[in-house]
A and B are shown apart, each in its own frame.
Chain A
Amino acid sequence: MIAHNLLYIIYFISALLFIGATQGLATPKTALRGNNFGISGMVLAVFATLLVLPTRNDLGILLFGLLAALVGVFWANKVQITKLAQMIALLNGFGGLSSVLVALAQLVGGKGYSFDLALGITAGGIAFSGSMVAYVKFQAPNFLPDQFVKLRHFITILSFAATIFFWALFAVYHQTNALLMLSAASLVFGFGLTFGVGGADMPIVISLLNSCSGFAASAIGFSFSNIVLIITGAIVGTSGLVLSHKMTKAMNKSVSQVFFGGGQNKQKLAQTNQIAKVSSPADAAFLMQNANLVIIVPGYGMAVSGAQHALKTLAGILENKYHVRVKFAIHPVAGRMPGHMNVLLAEAKIDYDKVFLLDDINPDFETADVAYVVGANDITNPAAKTDPSSPLFGMPVLDVFKAKTVFFVKRSSGTGYSGAQNPLFFAENTMMLYGDAKKVTEEIIADL
């Protein structure tokens, strides 16, 4: 009994450490401490558990646990900062998978029907397959064939119905087989849900999947009557929900629009007879060095080409050699995960006080001589403010069009993920620079 109470107290302390970890991430000053709190909480909970467990299968546990630890540390150390988003998606999927496996193991081991296990399987399964789809979308955007995308609503609805059906079957007949089918249905459901999601909506989806794996852990916690699992899972789950709520607000979208809308009017809108003006890096260099204020707007294209270091160099030359003020403008949903651009700019050691968020920078575009848009599209689309028929209408955007001259770096003349045509490309003061974001930026630097 004493050991039992002690374990309870240790679990509670570790839960408090996890709360402290999340709290620490509120400001950059305390963020690293937050991460250390998280690690301490984990070490405490795992060691306490290992100490009280019967020593029957220690060797297997240590082998599997340590092998994964080695793989995880090695891998996470090696991955490039520009590939963070997919790495986080993958790891999140593994967390979800683990919840599914624990629930299945409990059932195979003879534990009868429980609501918590079914819930753990569903949430974990969605987190796992959804994250895998997200990962594949990042790694190979064209890997998933278009035919599937057309079928996705069908797949989603069917697998959702199947999920409900097996829940009911399991609840009534308490059969393990029903639960195996439930796992399969949840996996397909997660797959169908994330399958058709456009790249620009990824920040919302990634944080929702994160939330799912948290709630899955919480559900498993109910089955073990374990408070550290319940508390931690709930905090992860709700913080994921809060993040995705912030993201949907930044895009003026509802969650159902993210999963079920989009993609339909792509062909219709992409056609236009207007011609965009193409410019050269030398022109851009000339206008930038004679400017008073240059605002750089990064998007996913910067992440793909890893252009953040070149941008840092560009900003440095403009400021020191030509005394131009340089600012960076960040849209909340630029990139593929919440806060994606901030991390990349931090990696290039670009000063904090030069980086501005949507509402803080928008008034500055009026006085800017040059806006340099690096691989961003939808987040600069003025149609979001003016054209009610645009799929982006209502989304807060960066007022790039107010700058005297706008340079757009793009790989091709295509539309953004929303499929909406960006009228800014054809505006009087817009110049296109086609090519890889990093290469184009380096060519501008060479001309300075």
Chain B
Amino acid sequence: MTTLFLISIFVLSCLIGILIAKDVTPALHSPLMSVSNAISGIVIIGALSSAAYANGFNTQEIISLFGVFFASLNIFGGFVISWRMLRLFKKRKEK
């Protein structure tokens, strides 16, 4: 894929991000931060590829595995925290 293509994808995504975040109600700012924090753990894809393509158990492999560890921590911790927060908002709505 050409770099130019990737850059245009990036710019379009930035626009989408701005348009979406602009309209988030202030009460949900914390959950928005928490969810977006969790999905930024997507960098685990990079860590996984990096670990898988290492030549045996070398430095690249070890560093990548720690990358996997911290990204996974970010993902699981992030989604659980967001879920706990959002459940609070939902309960109140049903009442």
Contacts and interface: CB of A to CB of B under 8 A. Distances in A.
Contacts of A246: 26, 29
Nearest to B23: A26
Contact of A79 (B32, B67, B81): B81
A61 B52 contact: yes
Interface in A348-379: 349-352, 355, 357
Given A28-B28, A104-B63, A108-B59, A227 B9 contact: yes
Interface residues of B, number: 84
Interface in B34-89: 34-57, 59-61, 63-89
Given A61-B48, A76-B77, A26 B30 contact: no
Interface in A61-118: 61, 64-69, 71-73, 75-77, 79, 81, 84, 87-88, 91-92, 94-95, 97-99, 101-102, 104-106, 108-109
Contacts of A230: 6, 9-10, 13
Nearest to B1: A225
Given A32-B86, A92-B74, A343 B42 contact: no
A238 to B, nearest CB: 3
B72 A239 contact: no
B69 A67 contact: yes
A65 B68 contact: yes
Contact of A57 (B21, B54, B75, B93): B54
A100 B89 CA distance: 35
Interface of B: 1, 3, 6, 9-10, 13-18, 20-57, 59-61, 63-93, 95
24 contacts: A18-B39, A22-B20, A25-B24, A32-B86, A38-B39, A38-B79, A39-B79, A53-B48, A53-B49, A57-B52, A57-B61, A60-B57, A61-B48, A61-B52, A69-B75, A101-B47, A102-B64, A230-B13, A231-B10, A236-B17, A238-B17, A239-B20, A239-B36, A339-B31
